[in-house]
Amino acid sequence: MSLSMTLRDIGDSIRSQPTRFALSFLAIGIGVISLVLLLAVLSALNTKSERLVQDLGVDVVGVLRLSPVDQNGGLSRRHAELLKRNFEDLTISSIRRYTAPTLGTRQQLTVVATDDHLASVRGWSVVAGRFLDRLDVQGAQRNAVVTRALSEDWGWQVGNLIYLRDTPFTIVGIVNAGGSALDTEEGDPRLVLGDRVVLVPKTVQPYWDQAQTPSRGAIDALFVRGTQLSAPDLMPALRAVLQQPDQRVGKLAWVTPASLLREVNRLKKSIAVSAGTVSALCLLLGGTALMSLMVANVRDRITEIGLRRSLGATRVDIALLFALEAVAVTVAAGLFGTLLAHAVLFLTAGNWPVPVQASPWSVAIPPLAAAVLGALFSYWPARTAAGIAPSEALRNE
């Protein structure tokens, strides 16, 4: 009965001064909306960071050729063999990227000549069939693996015969190559192979290549994964081997999960500082407005406080009454602001200049923060109300 009476008193107080509490409600609601948007952006950036690492491969070092291919140098298969001889505990894969049409069409496909380790190094999953194996590479078998998107678009299945220009290949597997996160962060085609990709053994002669590449042993990229060392520890050792003057690899780009995450982390820090400051200021202003309105509310209700004290209400009862009023307003504002912000995120999905994503944190934290804000900023007004003596309150009348 005491709880129901307290709730009724809180409701009566709010209804008696709707304008005053509406201002507090609005101020807190704006702060909560800004907090929800901040948490949604940070959640999306965290998800993007995880996907970037997954798309490249955990603890994978990518070595990309920047110099043009010629007869005198450039990244080639012999450099991959050199790394294998020097680092027995490494898994190394190389790729060479071409474009070729299928027989009877003008649509260009990406053809990637590679080995049997690429899927394991990059962490790709095989959807159907199998990936290229050692026998395919050693025997220069005309077997191919296609990406899932290409299989779905063209209706290709395991066992189908396809042509790269005039060269026939048998599909032995369908793979999920990922790359959607890398596509937005790092657009290099050696990292992001794309959706229309056919993977073939690197030992098959590239009859589909009409450009007649000068060096058939040239490669576009190496992907290296270690079992003992992480990518940051592994990269200096790889540099020491590949960048010796006699190797003539030319200019290289080095890609690790840390290098991919550098820009994302910088963006997260920038948004956390800027948007976090705005959100904190909005909540602080809302709390300040609430406290000033609660002080005015206490001043207007001095007679009521004296009457309650005369009828047996304790200081704790008075303080709790005002504190619960403030918390009720802030929690209601927190719930309203959270629902409104998530509705805006849902209706404007895909139209934000930065990634946004609703998460359990963006749902749970703002109302909780609003409740804590109400408790903190109502402390002084509630304490002031509890300290008013009954005789003083009655004399005020």
Instruction: Indicate the burial class of 227 (C-beta count within 10 angstroms; 0-12, 13-18, 19 or more).
Output: exposed
More confident residue, 277 or 187: 277
For residue 126, what pLDDT is reported? 92
Side-chain-facing half-sphere of 133: CA atoms under 13 Å: 5
For residue 244, what pLDDT is reported? 82
Q: Is residue 189's pLDDT more than 80? A: no
* pLDDT tens figures, 381-391: 888 888 877 76
More confident residue, 130 or 260: 130
Q: Is residue 1's pLDDT more than 50? A: no
Q: Is residue 63's pLDDT more than 90? A: no
Residues 70-78 have a mean pLDDT of 69
Structure tokens at 326: 């403030």
Nearest to residue 163, comparing CAs of 107, 207, 102? 102
- 67 in Cβ contact with 250 (< 8 Å): yes
Q: Is residue 83's pLDDT more than 80? A: yes
Q: Is residue 199's pLDDT more than 90? A: yes
More confident residue, 170 or 303: 170
Side-chain-facing half-sphere of 276: CA atoms under 13 Å: 9
More confident residue, 202 or 48: 202
High-pLDDT (> 90) share of the chain, %: 18
Cα 358 to Cα 106: distance, rounded to the nearest angstrom: 43
More confident residue, 36 or 53: 36
For residue 68, what pLDDT is reported? 63
* pLDDT tens figures, 103-148: 766 778 889 999 999 988 888 889 999 999 999 999 999 999 999 8
Residues 194-199 have a mean pLDDT of 82
More confident residue, 340 or 290: 340
So where are the chain's domains? Answer: 2-53+262-396, 67-250
- What residue ranges in 51-206 does DSSP mark as E strands? 60-65, 90-101, 108-114, 125-129, 143-147, 161-164, 167-176, 197-201
For residue 104, what pLDDT is reported? 66
Structure tokens at 306: 């004296």
* pLDDT tens figures, 207-259: 887 665 555 678 888 888 877 667 777 888 888 888 887 777 778 888 887 77
Q: Indicate the average pLDDT of the chain.
A: 81
For residue 4, what pLDDT is reported? 66
pLDDT band of residue 17 (cuts 50, 70, 90) is low
